[in-house]
Amino acid sequence: MIWRKTVNVVMLALMWLAAAVVLLPLVLILVHLVREGASSINWDFFTKVQSAPGTTGGGMSNAIVGTLVLLLIASGIGLPVGIAAGIYLAENRTARLASAVRFLADVLNGVPSIVTGIFAWQVMVKPVGHFSAWAGGVALATMMIPLAARTTEEMIRTVPNSLREAALALGYSTWRTSLTIVVRTALPGIVTGALVALARVAGETAPLLFTALGNIFFTVDPNKVIAALPLNIYSFAISPYDDWHRLAWAASLVLIVLVLLISIAARYVVRPKFGKAVD
């Protein structure tokens, strides 16, 4: 009896420890970022363009807006394609094309992001002869497509087949059943998957290196080169200036908060509207 209770306590302690080890890196990163970067976050950081090398002051408005523009382009291309592919995969599980698409999506998921960047350079930069936000957005979209497709497929698969049959028996056509019943039921999960994909590419640097390139000026024109937070973190961190190092920490903090906000939004969206679903 004593022995069993002891084992129980020990095992419980080990599990707490394991959980703590999982959380520790995240906590350490956040604490470190706040300590190093929080002091540099002020109104100027969000409103002013980055300063010239070696001078003090300036902000990150060009990079923050640049990241938002890139994410907008990436979502605009990547999410419709990815979600549509996911719906196709889920609704035609056994089709030969579906297994091929599923396999290729998994391969694409494993492609190193720098290779994705080279691909985007090849199709978007080389033909027109200059770097652009379009190219950066396409590179990020290429990474989002397999993520969105696979999560959409998984989410649609959780919808019980009985729901599909019920709709068909009411006189719904196959496509209307898919879109208005099955996809609608899986929608919170699909949106979550989309936001997770967005958060995932928000911090990508490598695909932007030779696509969006970076820009020290403020722009929202997708035909021009554009700044992005990860690119600026990289260039500021390797610069020799202390002031820039602090700005790099601050930019990292802003980036991670942005990703956290997207994740929290994902949690909020997945709340069921009418309480727990059946099955």
Partner 1 sequence: MTTPEPLAAPAPLPRPPEPAALKAIGTTVRQPAANAGTGEVILDVTGLNAYFGAQHAVRQASIAFREREVTAIIGPSGCGKSTLLRCLNRMHETVPTARVTGRIEFHGQDLYGPGVNPIEVRRHIGMVFQRPTPFPTLNIRDNVAAGFRALPRHRRPARDEIDARVEEALRGAALWDEVKDRLKTGAIALSGGQQQRLCIARALANEPSVILLDEPTASLDPLSTQKIEELVYALRQRFTVIIVTHNMQQAARVSDRTAFMLNGELVEVSPTGKLFTTPSDPRTEAYVTGRFG
Binding site for partner 1 (CB under 8 A): 94, 160, 162-163, 165-173, 176, 180-181, 184-185, 187, 272-278
Please say which residue, 259 or 277, places its beta carbon nearer to partner 1: 277
Amino acid occupying residue 136: G
In the complex, the smallest distance separating the C-beta of residue 87 from partner 1, rounded to whole angstroms, is 16
Please say which residue, 5 or 96, places its beta carbon nearer to partner 1: 96
Instruction: Give the Cα separation of 235 and 108 in Å (integer).
Output: 28
In the complex, the smallest distance separating the C-beta of residue 168 from partner 1, rounded to whole angstroms, is 6
Please say which residue, 126 or 184, places its beta carbon nearer to partner 1: 184
Going by C-alpha positions, the residue among 208, 255, 201 that lies closest to residue 233 is 255
Instruction: Give the Cα separation of 247 and 48 in Å (integer).
Output: 12
Please say which residue, 129 or 275, places its beta carbon nearer to partner 1: 275
% helix, strand, coil for the chain, step of 5: 75, 0, 25
In the complex, the smallest distance separating the C-beta of residue 272 from partner 1, rounded to whole angstroms, is 8
In the complex, the smallest distance separating the C-beta of residue 177 from partner 1, rounded to whole angstroms, is 9
Task: Please answer whether residues 263 and 184 qualify as being in contact, where contact means their C-beta atoms are separated by less than 8 angstroms.
Answer: no
Please say which residue, 102 or 164, places its beta carbon nearer to partner 1: 164
Rounded alpha-carbon distances, angstroms, from residue 108 to 16, 61, 95, 96, 264? 36, 33, 20, 18, 27
In the complex, the smallest distance separating the C-beta of residue 105 from partner 1, rounded to whole angstroms, is 23
Going by C-alpha positions, the residue among 137, 144, 138 that lies closest to residue 220 is 137
Angle, nearest 10°, between helix axes 133-157 and 61-91? 40
Please say which residue, 49 or 190, places its beta carbon nearer to partner 1: 190
In the complex, the smallest distance separating the C-beta of residue 23 from partner 1, rounded to whole angstroms, is 33
